[in-house]
Structure 1
Amino acid sequence: MTGREAYLQGLFAALSADPGLQALGVRFGRSIWHAVRRAEGPTLVVSRGRDVPVDTNIGRTTRKLVVMVSAVVWSSTPDTESDRIFELSHPVVMQFDADGIAGVEEGPTGEPQTGDEDGGIGIYTMQYAVTYQTATHAL
């Protein structure tokens, strides 16, 4: 397994275990489109964006992995509902740590994707950059 996938799985587990998110009835997934098709209530999706090598030095490569955390909500006020989720998920992501991680930085929030099927759907995505190191021959 690549380091980036291990980090995504670890973050997914940390978010899934959060009592506040559980109390809101948030479901968790790795696919935005699967969450949209299910239409089973608010879903927090963890997925991978770019993974950019930023420096190679003395047998180590420093990388920045873009992690996308998306709230998929079916509601007449999807922006309000997504912010309730992000209020709880943001600290979990910012405090996430694992072997090889040098830090987590908040990135831009994407433009919302919305629709009006079945009363309104909104997909809101926050991006985070996880800086980590690997051996030069590994991901």
Structure 2
Amino acid sequence: MEAALGVFFICCMSVLSPFSGVDDGELRGCPPSPNCVSSQSMKYNFVHKVDPISYSTSKEVAYRRISEYFHQSENIYISEEKEGEYLRIIFFTKVFRFPDRVEVYFPEGKNEVQVRSQSILGLWDVFANRRRVNTFREILAKEES
């Protein structure tokens, strides 16, 4: 019983972590574990580094596309949304319902999206976070429809 409560509290602390969000125009960095990727990772940290996602449409169209994807997807909880600027989402894996935290930030004056994706539980994510970021890249690369 105590172990179950301990796991519950650890999950709650991870989901509601103060180590997320935008600070001075940048997403917070990744922890040392290899279960996180970030486009604003430390300069020489190749383990966590992914490129920001560029888009050729307007910021409003790009934000609408990614927001609609999140609102229409299953196993997703949108925990914070600042219209046109920032989204924090909790993805739940289909089988075991493990939570993953994703943050999408649209900096002002740039045609790019900064993204951070982290598995909250476990040490290694089997490249799930990199695949997720590539899905976002495909969504934003679509031609205007």
TM-score, length-scaled by structure 1: 0.35
TM-score, length-scaled by structure 2: 0.34
Give 1 or 2: higher helix fraction: 1
Give 1 or 2: higher strand fraction: 1
